[in-house]
C-alpha cells in the first residue's frame, strides 16, 4: 500500500511500492513518442518564432494538439477526451513541454487550471457544454485569479460579483493580471467576491461577453509567445447558471486546481531539463579548445554530471508522486466515491508532494539552463543559440503556480496540520530521535557491500534530522512557528532534499531488481552524487534553523545531533562525476530517460 501524503517522513517505502518512469507501458510510451515527434518536427525547427512574439503560432500549435487529442488527455471520453489516468497526463505534459516555455505555459494553463475547475467542480450541464470544446481545442481556456493586490494571498481579491435585482445574473467588476492564454481564450474561469463573503466564488465567463476587455500583451523576460494579458470586467453580466460549484467555494477550487498545477509544472520542466542537458553534451563534444573537445575537461564533466543527477532526482520524485495520486484516485473509486470526488481527494491527499515537486522541478530547470549557458560560453549569451531562450523561459517556473517561497511554507504547514489532525504521527518518531540523541552513538563499521547501502543509511539519518529540528522548533515556538518563515523554509529545504534522495534511491533499486546492478551504474552514480550534496544542504538548513530558535544547552545538543545525522559520505566525488559524464559524452545526450 502506498504511503499517505507526507508519510515518507516517518515510514520507509520499498522499491516495488513506488512508480518509476520506466514502469510506463507500451501504449503510454507510444503516446509519449507521438508527443515528442510533434515537438521535434513541428516546434523545434521553428522555435525562434517564439522569441518574435508569434502568439498566433502558439495558438495554431495548441489547435493542432487539440486535433491530436492531447488537450483532452485527462478528460473522460463522455466529454470528448481520451480519459487517460493521471500519470499518463503527466507524461504527455512532460513531452509536449519540450524546450519552449511559451508552448509549455499555454498547454499547462489550458489543460490544467483552464479545464480542471470545470472537470472537478462543474455540474453535468456545465461539463457537457464546455469540456468537449476544451478537450478538442475548439475552445481555449484561461484562469483569472491574480489581481494587482492579490497574488500569493489569492483570497484577498477585490473583483466583485453582484446579483441583479431579478436574480437572474451576476454583474462582475474588477481587474485580473498575468492571465496566461487570455489573448486567444474563449472561456475564462473568473474568481470574484459576492457582497461581504469571507471567500471568493468562481464563475464561467465566455469570450465576447459585453464588458469583458483585454489589455495589450505583456512585455516579459521570457515565454515571449505565451499570451499574457490583463483582463478587465466592466459590468460583465453572467447568468447565475455560470457560477462554478457553490457560493464561496472559489478559494477551494483555486487551491485544488493549483495542487494539480504544481506537480504538472514540475513535470513540464522535465523535457526541457533533458533537452538542455543533451544540447550541452553535444556542444561540449563539438567545441574544441586546446586541441580537444571541451567535454574532456574535468570542469565541464563536473557540470554535465551535476545537471544529469538533478534531472534524474526531479524526474524520480515527480512521477513517484504522480502515481501515488493516481493510486489514491483508484482507491477512492473502489470505495464508492464518485469520479469527481475521487479526483479531488486523490490529489488533495498528496498536496505536500505536489508542492515539493513544484519547488524541486523549477529549481532544477533553473540550475540546468544556467549551467547550459556556461558550457556554451560566449555562445550561451548569444540569442542565436538555444540557451538564451531556455534560460529566460525557465525563470518563470519559480514564480507561477505559487512562488517557491509560498510552496516551501505550504509544505511544512500542511505537514504540521496533518500532525495536529492526527493524520500523521510525527510525535512518536520525533521522541524516539530525541531519546537517541542522549544515547552513545555506534562506532561499528557498517557493511556497504549492497547497492546504495550507504545512501540508504544516509536517508534514514536525514529523516531523523528533520524530525529532530522540526520537533524541537514546534516544541519551542508553539503556534508562533507559523510566523517564523525563515525557519519554516529551512525545514522545507530539509524535507525537499530528503524526498528527492529517497525517490532517487528507490528508482535505482527498482531498476536494479529489474535489469541487474550492472545495467544501472549510471543511475547509481547519479543517486550517490545527489545524496552527497543533499547531506550538505540538509546540514546547512538545519544549522540555520537551530541557530534561529534554540539557545544554550538545547542549541549545543541539537547541533551535535545534526552533526551526527549529516556526516559526509565516503565518496570519491571526482570519479563519480566522471562516470556519469562519460556515459553522457559517449551517448552524446542525456541517456537516462525512457
For residues 481 and 488, is the Cβ–Cβ distance under 8 A? yes
For residues 409 and 352, is the Cβ–Cβ distance under 8 A? no
The CA-CA-CA angle for residues 158, 163, 168, to 5°, reads: 140
How many Å separate Cα 59 from the centre of its chain?
24
Name every residue whose Cβ is closer than 8 Å to that of residue 222 and which is 6 or more positions away in sequence.
101, 389, 391, 392, 393, 394, 395, 396
**DSSP letter string, 236-250:** EEEEGGGEESSTT-H
Query: Quick one: which of 550, 400, 420, 432 has its CA closest to 490?
Result: 550
For residues 370 and 310, is the Cβ–Cβ distance under 8 A? no
Q: Is 356 exposed, middle or buried (0-12, 13-18, 19+ CB in 10 A)?
A: buried
Which helix (H) or strand (E) element contains residue 232?
strand 228-239
Positive or negative, the Cα torsion across 490, 544, 366, 88? negative
C-alpha cell at 483: 510566523
For residues 408 and 397, is the Cβ–Cβ distance under 8 A? no
DSSP 108: H
401 counts as catalytic = yes
C-alpha cell at 307: 545537471
* Radius of gyration of the CA atoms of the chain, in A: 24
Which of the residues 306, 349, 363, 401 is marked catalytic? 401
Pairing of the two strands 288-289 and 160-163: unpaired
Place of cell 513541454: 97
Alpha-carbon separation of residue 185 from 205, 211, 265, 541 (angstroms): 10, 16, 20, 43
How many Å separate Cα 401 from the centre of its chain?
9
H-only helix segments in 377-520: 386-395, 404-420, 427-437, 453-477, 485-515
Classify 337 as helix, strand or coil: coil
Catalytic residues: 401
Amino acid at each position: 500500500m502506498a504511503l499517505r501524503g507526507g508519510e515518507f517522513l516517518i515510514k520507509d517505502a520499498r522499491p516495488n511500492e513506488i512508480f518509476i518512469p520506466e514502469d510506463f507501458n507500451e501504449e503510454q510510451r507510444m503516446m509519449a513518442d507521438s508527443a515528442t515527434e510533434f515537438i521535434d518536427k513541428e516546434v523545434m525547427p521553428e522555435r525562434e518564432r517564439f522569441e518574435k512574439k508569434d502568439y498566433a503560432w502558439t495558438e495554431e500549435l495548441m489547435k493542432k494538439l487539440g486535433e491530436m487529442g492531447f488537450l483532452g488527455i485527462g478528460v473522460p471520453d463522455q466529454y470528448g477526451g481520451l480519459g487517460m489516468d493521471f500519470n499518463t497526463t503527466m507524461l504527455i505534459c512532460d513531452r509536449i513541454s519540450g524546450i519552449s516555455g511559451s508552448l509549455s505555459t499555454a498547454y499547462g494553463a489550458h489543460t490544467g487550471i483552464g479545464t480542471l475547475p470545470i472537470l472537478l467542480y462543474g455540474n453535468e450541464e456545465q461539463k457537457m457544454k464546455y469540456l468537449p470544446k476544451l478537450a478538442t481545442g475548439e475552445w481555449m481556456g484561461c484562469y483569472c485569479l491574480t489581481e494587482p493586490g492579490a497574488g500569493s494571498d489569492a483570497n484577498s481579491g477585490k473583483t466583485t460579483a453582484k446579483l441583479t435585482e431579478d436574480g437572474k445574473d451576476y454583474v462582475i467588476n474588477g481587474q485580473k493580471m498575468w492571465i496566461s492564454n487570455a489573448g486567444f481564450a474563449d472561456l475564462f474561469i473568473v474568481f470574484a467576491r459576492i457582497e461581504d463573503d469571507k471567500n471568493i466564488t468562481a464563475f464561467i465567463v465566455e469570450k465576447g461577453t459585453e464588458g469583458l476587455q483585454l489589455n495589450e500583451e505583456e512585455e516579459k523576460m521570457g515565454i515571449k509567445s505565451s499570451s499574457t494579458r490583463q483582463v478587465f470586467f466592466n459590468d460583465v453580466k453572467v447568468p447565475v447558471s455560470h457560477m462554478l460549484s457553490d457560493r464561496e467555494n472559489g478559494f477551494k477550487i483555486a487551491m485544488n486546481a493549483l495542487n494539480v498545477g504544481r506537480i504538472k509544472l514540475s513535470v513540464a520542466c522535465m523535457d526541457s531539463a533533458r533537452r538542455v542537458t543533451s544540447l550541452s553534451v553535444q556542444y561540449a563534444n563539438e567545441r574544441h579548445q586546446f586541441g580537444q573537445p571541451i567535454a574532456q575537461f574535468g570542469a565541464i564533466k563536473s557540470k554535465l554530471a551535476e545537471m544529469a543527477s538533478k534531472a534524474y532526482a526531479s524526474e524520480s520524485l515527480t512521477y513517484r508522486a504522480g502515481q501515488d495520486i493516481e493510486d489514491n484516485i483508484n482507491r477512492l473509486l473502489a470505495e464508492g466515491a464518485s469520479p469527481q470526488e475521487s479526483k479531488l481527494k486523490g490529489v488533495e491527499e498528496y498536496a505536500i508532494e505536489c508542492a515539493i515537486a513544484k519547488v524541486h522541478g523549477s529549481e532544477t530547470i533553473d540550475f540546468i539552463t544556467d549551467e547550459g549557458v556556461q558550457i556554451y560560453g560566449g555562445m550561451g549569451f548569444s540569442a542565436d543559440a538555444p540557451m538564451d531562450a531556455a534560460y529566460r523561459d525557465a525563470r518563470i517556473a519559480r514564480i507561477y503556480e505559487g512562488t517557491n517561497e509560498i510552496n516551501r511554507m505550504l509544505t511544512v504547514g500542511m505537514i504540521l496540520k496533518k500532525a495536529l489532525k492526527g493524520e500523521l504521527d510525527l510525535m512518536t518518531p520525533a521522541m524516539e530521535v530525541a531519546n537517541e540523541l542522549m544515547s552513545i552513538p555506534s562506532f561499528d563499521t557498517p557493511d556497504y557491500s549492497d547497492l546504495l547501502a550507504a545512501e540508504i543509511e544516509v536517508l534514514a539519518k536525514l529523516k531523523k534530522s528533520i524530525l529532530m529540528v522540526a520537533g524541537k522548533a514546534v516544541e519551542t515556538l508553539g503556534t508562533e512557528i507559523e510566523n517564523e518563515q525563515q525557519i519554516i523554509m529551512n525545514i522545507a529545504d530539509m524535507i525537499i532534499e530528503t524526498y528527492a534522495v529517497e525517490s532517487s534511491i528507490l528508482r535505482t533499486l527498482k531498476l536494479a531488481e529489474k535489469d541487474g546492478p550492472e545495467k544501472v551504474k549510471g543511475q547509481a552514480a547519479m543517486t550517490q552524487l545527489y545524496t552527497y550534496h543533499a547531506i550538505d544542504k540538509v546540514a546547512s538548513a538545519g544549522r540555520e534553523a537551530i541557530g534561529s530558535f534554540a539557545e544554550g544547552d538545547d542549541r549545543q545538543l541539537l547541533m551535535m545531533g545534526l552533526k551526527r545525522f549529516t556526516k559526509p559520505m565516503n565518496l570519491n566525488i571526482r570519479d563519480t562525476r566522471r562516470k556519469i559524464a562519460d556515459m553522457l559524452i559517449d551517448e552524446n545526450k542525456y541517456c537516462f530517460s525512457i
